[in-house]
Structure 1
Amino acid sequence: MTKIKKYTDVSSLWSDYKNGLQFYILKKVKDKDISNNLSHEVLMKIYNSCCSNNEIKNIRSWMFQIAHNTTIDYLKKENKFTNEVPEIFEKDENNSYKEAEELMKPLIELLPEKYAVPLQLADIEEIKQVEVSKKLNLSLTATKSRIQRARKLLKEKIIECCNLELDKKGNLLSLEIKQSCEPLQNHLKKE
């Protein structure tokens, strides 16, 4: 468990998680200006509770819970609250995997079609590779080759478009879309 002892601790935490928190809020409110305003509100709530002597088991989850509650409060106040929005954060849950999962389809769509389609069918729709080869009228060898190539290309796209924070074991801690990745930035604007 951790205590946030001083404002410099909050500054450091905010710089580490700011982009992820803003991305989370933007996904919910779908408006960049509102997202920025709510992000500032979240920062103020974090600052206000920084010296409360409360033990925080998982700082990242705690910060995302504040962002979540702030967003829900805003949506309720504006009568924009729907059943789709609430997500309950468990204290130790890592929501980065959920964020990454939501980005897989748009990232796959950035790949050349001859690789994107077999990957989509095999890995996302979980169709057996034998069935994928029949569906695409390809040999099984060609299908497997395209899926492997697509996975490699997808990994390159993820590295090109996202900043990933991993723990020592390689588990995803946080994910942030790079500003330079226009296709994913445009995808977020469409949502």
Structure 2
Amino acid sequence: MITPEADEELLIVELYDIHSYELIRYIYMLVNDELQSEDLLQETFIRAWKNVHRMKEIENSRAWLFKIAHNASMDYLRKKKPIHLIEKFIKSVPDPSLQPEKYIQTMEESRELIDRINNLKDRYRKIILLRKVHEFSIRETADILKWSESKVKTTLHRAMKSLEDSYIRAEEVYYEKKS
């Protein structure tokens, strides 16, 4: 006979199997420390285990786990300053099967993008990570960050504008140096 506790354990194991890879990538982008990311992933699932009884109320288990991971990471980062975000921008990793010249160019562009994102305000980095890298909906992002949906939209717009402006400023400096 399967007990409710066994069902909960199976559910946590299933959630781990489905979401752990994506969660650890997200956590790593927040804390930029591989060992700490593993600890925070474990902390995420411990917190999930303690609240597994709430699963019936949860509409989206993926967003729920990301919210737990986000909160665990923020708790850690509040204790450890300064914050270094997005050491590796997962979506920007080029395909190694590209021609060597194209691969190198794409790697350089990815590095530049990572550097620019790292120089954004903290809230801009978070919103780009959740909306553009992990592709959460506006509602899911609002839930994870405990923001209103309108704040998510506005902040994303400002973050993308700030990122775009950093490229424009860099181009202006480059052309001023050439002339």
Which TM bucket (shorter chain)? 0.3 to 0.5
Q: TM-score, normalised by structure 2?
A: 0.47
> Counting strand residues as a fraction of each chain, which structure ranks higher?
1
> Counting helix residues as a fraction of each chain, which structure ranks higher?
2
Q: TM-score, normalised by structure 1?
A: 0.44
